[in-house]
Amino acid sequence: MQLSTLMQELSLLRHDAAFDYTLKKMGIWSIWEDIQRNNPSGNNPYHNNPHMKYMARVAYELYCLTNLIGGHFVPEEAIAIVLAGLVHDVDHSGGVYTDDSDNIAQARTFLAGLRVRHPYIADSIWNDVDLLVQSTRFPHTSTHGFHHLEGYVRDADFMYSLEIYSLTPIMHGIPEELVHKLGKLLTPSQFVDPQQAFMNHAVFYTHAGSHIWALCKDKAFELEQNYALGTVKSVKTLP
């Protein structure tokens, strides 16, 4: 195995271990185990368990960047954001439904079951989780009067391409799920330009998310272009 691949896998393992520790300290590790066991779409090409865990981790990171140093960190808010990330794409149709509202409805049904199975989480937190899951419906609706935490989960949902393990889910997973809509499977070379055009129109809602995306976008796009040309190998996502 090449040294660069080993370094990437070590970095991935460190991120994964750190977030596992966070879930345990928050007291919600058993909920994540529940989701992994029972999510019907856990192995989707893109909207799968690893995607939800990634999204939850980045949403938490964005919340900490915004609130921790300023002394505005609220544990209940952080838990709600993380739980929303962990459940927002549960039972996702993987491209079968053309209206994302149907995917959100299925995630909310699963969420209702989680509330029953894990009653030690306060109702106020579960209520926030429900609103945050709804806020991830795409295309996004107006943020006015919805939920003050929604920007963290929305931005995190867009930031997959900044992760070392994103190439396979983005360059192969999304095209696999688009087959239902397009009637054909796009190769990475066919997919990369429309994907990047889509991301160039992405709206970011937090200062932290906007800052990180602006600094990293060009390098992420370059990596995807090189991958489409067959000059870069991907890294396997940890389960």
Task: Say what the pLDDT of residue 163 is.
Answer: 85
Mean pLDDT of 33-51: 96
With bands split at pLDDT 50, 70 and 90, how would you rate the model's confidence at 145? low
pLDDT higher than threshold 80 for residue 1: no
pLDDT at 77: 97
Domain ranges of the chain: 3-228
Domain 3-228 belongs to what topology? Catalytic domain of cyclic nucleotide phosphodiesterase 4b2b (1.10.1300)
Per-residue pLDDT, 8:
83
Give CA separation, 3 vs 13, 154, 168, 182, in Å.
15, 35, 20, 39
> If we measure between CA atoms, which residue out of 127, 139, 143, 37 comes closest to residue 90?
37
The pLDDT mean for the chain works out to 92
Largest CA distance in the chain: 51
What is the tens place of the pLDDT at every residue in 98-112? 899 999 999 999 999
